[in-house]
Amino acid sequence: MKIITLSEEEFTEFASHHKYSNYYQTVEYAKVMTQEGYDYHLLGFTNNNNDLVGAVMILSKTAFFSYKIAYAPYGFLIDFSDYDFVEELTLEFKKLLTKQKFIYFKMNPNISCSERDKDGNIISYNPEINDILEILQKNNYIHTGFNQYFENEKPRFLAVLKLTASNDKLYQNLSKQTKNKISKANRLGIEIYEGQHEDLDILYEFIKRKQKKSIKHYKNLCNAFGNDAKIYLAKINTQKFLMQSKDFYEKELDINETLNQKLQEFSRTRKNITNIINKKMESDQHLALYQKNLVYATNLFSKYPEGLTIGGCLVIQYQKKVHLIIEGFHKKYRDFNPNYLLKWELIKKFNQEGFHYFNLNGIVGEFKEKNKYSGLNEMKLGYHANAVEYIGEFLLITNPTIYPIYQRKLQTKKEKKANN
């Protein structure tokens, strides 16, 4: 076996057709990370016949004096079930990294362990997973564990919706809560539209507190992925909100007046009026709510006659898969449920366009016990997505002398930051 350097074209051709292909293992993503202080390396692995049988995009940076660290997001692109190949590759790879003064190499292969339903029950299981885990561990890759939360570089659990049915069927599969929130967003005048890359400034106001990433990171993503990086925004159509609020109020007012007349009529005839009283009380509550909405909608329309954008998201398209990179909304307008309608409209759109999967991004692997991420799981899995569990992170230490020194340095830095 030989480890060779690939051109961008060679790497892209191989990576795009591999079973573990993903948008992180691309030249585009590599170029995004160069803007954040990383170097990247496109490596290929050839057999004795000089056939290309594997590849990887590795990110690296100097971490400690002249020593470096390496990370392959969702890599390698190899056959992990072939013990002899993994053994030979690891020996050659470790020699290369040691020679070039790397402390360690980290990867989280794009290998799924299982698919689970919203309650965490296993739907399907990868029969190769135990063998692959054993092969990697026998070759000195340290598995960091089957963690349940967001301890790794990338989430170990993702919510992924398979786009294999009609939009009507997909809607039927939504949870009751998801349907209700989508319906409410429509009633309150929320509309979804596609923005331009120039609208990233608008989107960033809704997402800047969610992750410690600068707007430059998202601009680099948009620049690198071009037309495959898309921005979608959620807007209150204030005129529509006003008209619908007026319509709901007037309809309920008619219902309320009719019930009031029946109440008076039943009172005169001494009929049993309990049922009418209950309906009237319920209508009174609806009327008060619709009246409140009408006043709110009137003020909102007066202030924002052209509408008001309150949320949005960034997605990346890659090989008939759509990845929700980041989403956010204005907390003041939480009750408008823009995030629910936003995802549903995108699901419908990409399903009609022939995409196969909609990746709603990270969730946690704790399904039974209530935790601070329970709402996140409930929202994303409410679209009838499956929870896809991945194998997790592996560490290959290439300099056992420097590694503990570097770890102590990191720990000291972390403690100082916590004390400040």
User: Are 226 and 342 within one domain?
Assistant: yes
Segment 245-271 mean pLDDT: 84
- Distance between CA atoms of residues 399 and 396, nearest Å: 9
Residue 272 has a pLDDT of 66
The H or E element that residue 271 is part of is: none
Residue holding tokens 């995802």?
343
Q: Determine the Cα–Cα distance for residues 69 and 399; give it in Å rounded to an integer.
A: 10
Helix then strand count (H, E) for the chain reads 13, 16
- pLDDT tens, residue by residue, 326-374: 999 999 999 999 999 999 999 999 999 999 999 999 999 999 899 999 9
User: Does residue 115 sit within a domain?
Assistant: no
Contact (Cβ atoms closer than 8 angstroms) between residue 3 and residue 44: yes
Question: Per-residue pLDDT averaged across 133-158, rounded?
Answer: 95
190 and 236 in contact (C-beta within 8 Å)? yes
Is residue 287, in this structure, part of any structural domain at all?
yes
- Encode pLDDT of 161-190 as tens digits: 999 999 999 999 999 999 999 999 999 999
Residues 319, 399, single domain; the answer is: no
Domain count, the chain: 3
Same domain, 93 and 217: no
| Strand-pair partners of 107 | 72, 394
Strands 321-329 and 357-363: parallel
Residues in the chain: 420
Residues 342 and 413 in one domain: no
User: Would 243 be classed as within a structural domain?
Assistant: yes
* Contact of 3 with 43, CB cutoff 8 Å: yes
Which helix or strand (DSSP H or E) is residue 134 part of?
Answer: helix 129-138
Average pLDDT taken over every residue of the chain? 94
pLDDT surpassing 90 at residue 64: no
**Residue 255 structural domain:** 239-303
pLDDT at residue 269 in the model? 64
- Decide: helix, strand or coil at residue 372: coil
Residue 225 and residue 321 in one domain: yes
Q: Residue written as tokens 């293992």?
A: 25
Q: Is 161 exposed, middle or buried (0-12, 13-18, 19+ CB in 10 A)?
A: buried
* CATH number of domain containing 13: 3.40.630.30
pLDDT value of residue 271: 61
**Structure token digits, residue 158:** 């993702």
Among candidate residues 135, 160, 103, 87, the one with its CA nearest the CA of residue 350: 160
The tokens describing 234, both together, are 């959620």
Separation CA 35–CA 264 (nearest Å): 74
State whether 208 and 317 are in the same domain: yes
Interatomic CA distance for residues 54 and 46, integer angstroms: 7
Amino acid at 208: K
Q: 377 burial class (0-12, 13-18, 19+ CB within 10 angstroms)?
A: buried
Report pLDDT digits (tens) over 262-313: 888 776 665 667 888 889 899 999 999 999 999 999 999 999 999 999 999 9
Q: How many CB atoms lie within 10 A of CB 353?
A: 11
Whether this model's pTM surpasses 0.85: yes
278 by DSSP, 3-state: which?
helix
| 141 found inside a domain | no
Specify whether 18 is located in the same domain as 79.
yes
Say yes or no: 196 and 323 in one domain.
yes
48 occurs within a structural domain: yes
Q: Are residues 347 and 414 in the same domain?
A: no
pLDDT at 260 over 90: no
169 with 225, same domain?
Answer: yes
The C-alpha atoms of residue 140 and residue 394 are separated, in whole angstroms, by 9
Q: Please report the DSSP string for 285-313 in residue order.
A: HHHHHHHHHHHHHHHHHHH-TT-EEEEEE
CA distance 188 to 234: 12
- Asked if 72 and 9 sit in the same domain, the reply is yes
The answer to whether 393 and 140 have CB atoms below 8 angstroms apart is: no
What strands, in cross-sheet order, belong to the sheet with 357-363? 122-125, 112-116, 386-390, 157-162, 357-363, 321-329, 308-318, 229-236, 190-194
373 occurs within a structural domain: no
| One domain, residues 58 and 94 | yes
Residue in 389, 391, 388, 365 with CA at minimum distance from that of residue 136: 391
Find, among 194, 178, 113, 140, the residue nearest to 365 by Cα: 113
* Mean pLDDT, residues 104-108: 97
Q: Is 154 inside a domain boundary?
A: no
| Exposure letters 92-126 (e unless 16+ CB within 10 A, then b) | ebbeebeeeebbbbbbbbbbbbbbbebebeeeeeb
Confidence band, pLDDT 50/70/90 cuts, at residue 210: confident
